[in-house]
Amino acid sequence: MARKAPSYREAAAEIEEILAAIDDETEVDIDELAARVERAAELIRFCTERLRSAESRVEKVTEELTRAAGDEAAQDEDARNGDADPSDD
């Protein structure tokens, strides 16, 4: 059965658990260590992708807000200068 995708917080917590387990063990089974490292790498890739996705979404919203603020500022400037609406031409 496929493993359910964790949330970012769950994935980060699992990475911390894996690292703590590796640090705490004095004798490590090489196969268990390899499995833990593989799982940690999978979780790190997942977290990296989530971070990139969130960054992209935030940038998009920021650009939209900046554009809207610029449009509003231009309209305010036109109103202060008494410029006619360009659509009136």
Tell me what pLDDT residue 10 has. 97
Predicted confidence (pLDDT) per residue in 5-58, tens digit: 899 999 999 999 999 998 888 887 999 999 999 999 999 999 999 999 999 999
Predicted confidence (pLDDT) per residue in 59-87, tens digit: 999 999 998 888 787 787 777 877 655 55
Give the residue extent of every domain in the chain.
8-79
* The overall pTM is greater than 0.95: no
Euclidean distance between CA atoms 80 and 41, whole angstroms:
58
Is the model's pLDDT at 3 over the cut of 80?
no
Tell me what pLDDT residue 2 has. 62
A 10 A CB-CB count for 17 gives 12
